[in-house]
């Protein structure tokens, strides 16, 4: 990351790994469950595999794992649907990707780019 222009690569030791997003004709798909986007999240995984992205980054607040913990998932039924989406998403991801900590990804990224 360039510390003077954080939208550019630079020589600092910081590496930004943003949530995986894909622009599309209806706005933007995020790799972040909202109770209505299972298909778009799975499409992101497919695209990432086809285009050989260096990683995919998923996002979820821990408070969203309980009813009423967020405006998105208010009821027990919402949470059960979220768990169904997570099972589908993570099951698909496990077949296509290898999990890493951010530190492991940083080391791999750094060595592959000879930083």
- Can you give the residue range of the structural domain that contains 60? 21-100
pLDDT at 110: 85
In a domain, 27, yes or no: yes
Residue range 40-88, pLDDT digits in tens:
999 999 999 999 999 999 999 999 999 999 999 999 999 999 999 999 9
Whether the CB-CB separation of 48 and 34 falls below 8 Å is answered with: no
Phi, psi of 30 (to 5 degrees): -115, 145
pLDDT at 113: 74
In a domain, 51, yes or no: yes
In a domain, 91, yes or no: yes
Nearest to 15 by CA among 55, 60, 45: 55
pLDDT at 74: 96
In a domain, 58, yes or no: yes
In a domain, 75, yes or no: yes
In a domain, 60, yes or no: yes
* DSSP symbol at 114: T
In a domain, 48, yes or no: yes
* Number of separate domains in the chain: 1
User: Is the pLDDT score of 115 beyond 80?
Assistant: no
In a domain, 4, yes or no: no
């Amino acid at each position: 990351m360039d510390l003077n222009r954080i939208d550019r690569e630079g020589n600092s030791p910081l590496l930004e790994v943003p949530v995986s997003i894909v622009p599309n004709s209806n706005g933007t798909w995020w790799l972040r469950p909202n109770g209505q986007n299972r298909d778009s999240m799975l499409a992101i995984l497919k695209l990432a595999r086809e285009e050989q992205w260096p990683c995919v980054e998923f996002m979820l607040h821990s408070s969203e794992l309980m009813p009423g913990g967020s405006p998105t998932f208010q009821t027990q039924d919402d949470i059960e649907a979220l768990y169904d989406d997570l099972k589908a998403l993570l099951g698909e991801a496990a077949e296509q990707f290898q999990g890493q900590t951010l530190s492991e990804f940083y080391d791999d990224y750094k060595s592959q780019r000879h930083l």
